[in-house]
Amino acid sequence: MVTITFPDNSIKQFAQFPTGMDVAAGISEGFARNCVAMKIDDRLLDLRRPIKNDAHINFITVNDDQALDILRHSAAHVMAEAVLNLYPDAKLTIGPVVEDGFYYDIDMPPISEDDLGKIEAEIQKIIKAKATFERQVVSRQEALDIFTDNPFKLELINELADQEISLYKNGKFIDLCRGPHIPHTGMIKGIKLMKISGAYWRADQSREQLQRLYGTAFFDKKQLNQYLHLIEEAKKRDHRKLGTRLDLFSFHDEAPGMAFFHARGMDMWNALLDYWRAAHRAAGYVETKTPVMLNRKLWEKSGHWENYRENMYTSVIDDEEYAIKPMNCPGGMILFKTRSYSYRDLPLRAGEVGLVHRHELSGALSGLFRVRSFHQDDAHIFMTPDQIETEVLGVLHLSEKIYQQFGLTFHLELSTRPEKAIGSDAQWEEATNGLKAALKQYGREYIINEGDGAFYGPKIDIHIKDALGRTWQCGTVQLDMALPERFDLTYKGKDNEKHRPIMIHRVIYGSMERFFGILVEHFAGKFPLWLAPVQAVILPITQDLSDHAGIVKKDLDAAGIRCEVDLRNETLKKKIREAQVNYVPLIITIGEKERESKTLSVRTLDGKVKMGVSMEAFVTPVLGHIKKRILDDIIL
């Protein structure tokens, strides 16, 4: 007799060992059809697994977040089977689930995007067969015999040591896998292969080069279509294309992964930086600046040389080794040590928009989203232990204020001690508990990511959501007790004794470059007036009005409004259309009438035109709109 306890604490008994599917069907056939997997005492298992002991059960249905990962894991197997059906000599390696889909790395001759269609057709045959996913547990030798012709699988099997080796079979296809999987292939209602790229086995450039096939899958074809529509919308907003079209930034072979910002891009950059500085001054921060290159001894003391060396650029100067900073933190430590502090001086909030460099593989570079050179809007807060909660809360509230300025929402994730870390267990526990207390006081729900903290301390990551519903990890709040110890930072306490300060590392934009790119895509190039690189364009109707247009520009420049004059030999209609396509918020046309009356004819992005506007009647509301950093379009 097996007793099953359900989430509502109701109980059902079975005379034989039931499978998860048996238990689900006992609730209703309709419910069973929507079940993907089950949790038995917090272990995620296939529905076909027999339950041999009394257990608490939770069912994962198609509506649960975990279900999609299980479906996509299964879809990776189906795609791999389809590839082997079409390319029998291909050798499979690994096929994990990733954000928004899955991929499989395969040792096979190069294929093109044109080949994806026939692979998808083969996938549909496998789906229609509704083949069940069956789990098998085998000995090491049995596994080696099954995959004797696949050196990649043999390598993985030989690394499993004494772990249980499980395989999954669907139809004639079998793969090394821990599972779990959906009950049968027919549950994959929407699947699409997205792209092909190259990859090295185990990301090692000295190993075999593989073909990486990406795909995505859903329980519903409608969900797939919605996702594909989102992808198309994202392509239209691609910051790399908009950055070129709007003349904001560019990349060049002379500096891979390092952006060149154009004049218009710098106008927008400075608007972002001006807002950052104003918000931080109001929150009690001071601004500092530290060198880009520092001696190796500093990086050894900070722990970066041991824990982060492979990502750092180095050079030799006067027979000594130096490194270009990948982070601003050690320079902040040196600054703190330049004077003595009392507990009355704390907290000390010091911000720095510092230029850092990190080595990224060339294949990982992606516009402004993944670069080798970028500016971090760092701040280091030095404080007493009893100030932890207040200061973390202060960072969270400041982050919320700044993100709201751009119409961005966010969620929070707490990351705990990783395997590779510095500092004692006691320090990590105190730091982690401090962050948890602040999050509780803040009052928002948060996710815990075990083992994903920085090597020097636990952290809160802030994931913003853009206009398309995509999430981006930008802000982070990291509590650090280890670096103050390493750098022997002290302050004088109320007892006149020396004490060790606790430190917060934090960013809000994160990387200025990456945040810039996110905003380009979030606004799709249609920036609010305060952020727009070109706030107004002046269009003289005829060439003999060029001088007057120049006078108007000089007045607007003096008022602090970013403007340009379009003197191209094009029709007025075409100039207006191009300005609208490039989302210039204010289009000013100058004719003979405007010159004589010293007025402006102004077109706003809503298409409305207001004529006879005096310079004062134009400048005053525009500057007020800019000063308040209003998100909505200006209406004159």
* Fold matches, 66-235 and 264-290+325-522: no
Is 0.85 surpassed by the pTM of this model?
no
Continuous H helices in 214-338: 221-236, 239-245, 263-282, 296-302, 304-307, 329-336
49 is annotated as an active-site residue: no
pLDDT at residue 21 is higher than 80: yes
Task: Supply the angle between the helices 65-86 and 116-128 in degrees, to the nearest 10.
Answer: 110
For the chain, which residues make up each domain, given as ranges? 2-61, 66-235, 264-290+325-522, 536-627
Are 479 and 414 within 8 A, CB to CB?
Answer: no
What tokens were used for 606?
């809503």
Main-chain dihedrals φ then ψ at residue 69, nearest 5 degrees = -65, -40
Please identify which of the residues 358, 436, 562, 595 carries the catalytic annotation. Answer: 358
Q: Is 329 a catalytic residue?
A: yes
pLDDT in tens, 450-484: 898 877 789 999 999 999 889 999 999 998 878 89
The count of other CB atoms within 10 Å of the CB of residue 303 is: 19
- How open is the CA angle 480-336-320, to the nearest 5 degrees? 90
Catalytic option among 72, 304, 505, 548 = 505
Q: What is the pLDDT of residues 250-296, one digit of tens each?
A: 999 999 999 999 999 999 999 999 999 999 999 999 999 999 999 99
**386-413 pLDDT, tens per residue?**
899 999 999 999 999 999 999 999 999 9
Instruction: Kindly report the three-state secondary structure assignment for every residue of 99-123.
Output: CCEEEEEEECCCCCHHHHHHHHHHH
Token pair for 16:
């034989």
**376 carries an active-site annotation:** yes
Question: What is each CA distance from 140 to 45, 133, 167, 176, 513, in whole angstroms?
Answer: 22, 21, 11, 11, 49
Residue 299, Cβ density class (10 Å: 0-12 exposed, 13-18 middle, ≥19 buried)? buried
Percent share of the chain, pLDDT over 90: 87
Residue 306 has pLDDT above 90, yes or no: no
Residue 96 CA to its chain's centroid (Å): 19
Q: For the domain covering 264-290+325-522, report its CATH number.
A: 3.30.930.10
Catalytic member of 211, 376, 427, 535: 376
pLDDT of residue 98: 93
Phi and psi, residue 370, nearest 5°: -140, 105
Give the count of beta carbons closer than 10 Å to the beta carbon of residue 488.
11
Residue range 66-235 forms a domain whose CATH class is alpha beta
Choose the catalytic residue: 192, 304, 325, 380.
380
Provide the pLDDT confidence category of residue 495 given band limits of 50, 70 and 90.
Answer: very high
Among the listed residues 297, 307, 306, the one whose alpha carbon sits nearest the alpha carbon of residue 334: 297
3-state secondary structure of 515: helix
pLDDT given at position 191: 97
Task: Find out whether 182 and 75 touch, Cβ atoms under 8 Å.
Answer: no
Return the exposure string of 548-574: e unless at least 16 CB atoms fall within 10 Å of the residue's CB, then b. bbeebbeebeebebbbbbbeeeeeeee
Type of residue found at 103: Y
Question: Which position among 459, 506, 562, 595 bears the catalytic label?
Answer: 459
Write down the catalytic residue from 46, 378, 461, 566.
378
In which residue are the tokens 């950059």 written?
269
Q: Are 472 and 527 in contact (CB under 8 A)?
A: no
Q: Which CATH class is domain 2-61?
A: alpha beta
Instruction: Report whether pLDDT(165) > 80.
Output: yes
- pLDDT tens for each residue of 512-535: 999 999 999 999 999 999 999 999
**pLDDT one-digit tens code per residue, 311-365:** 999 999 999 999 999 999 999 999 999 999 999 999 999 999 999 999 998 888 9
Domain at 536-627, CATH from 3.40.50.800, 3.40.1190.20, 3.40.50.720, 3.40.50.2020 = 3.40.50.800
Residue 142's nearest CA partner among 163, 155, 157 is: 157
588 within 8 A of 600, measured Cβ to Cβ? yes
**Crossing angle (nearest 10°) for helices 615-627 and 546-559:** 40
The yes-or-no answer on residue 526 being catalytic is no
Q: State which H helix or E strand residue 319 sits in.
A: none
Rounded to the nearest 10 degrees, how much is the dihedral formed by the CA atoms of 269, 270, 273, 274?
Answer: -150
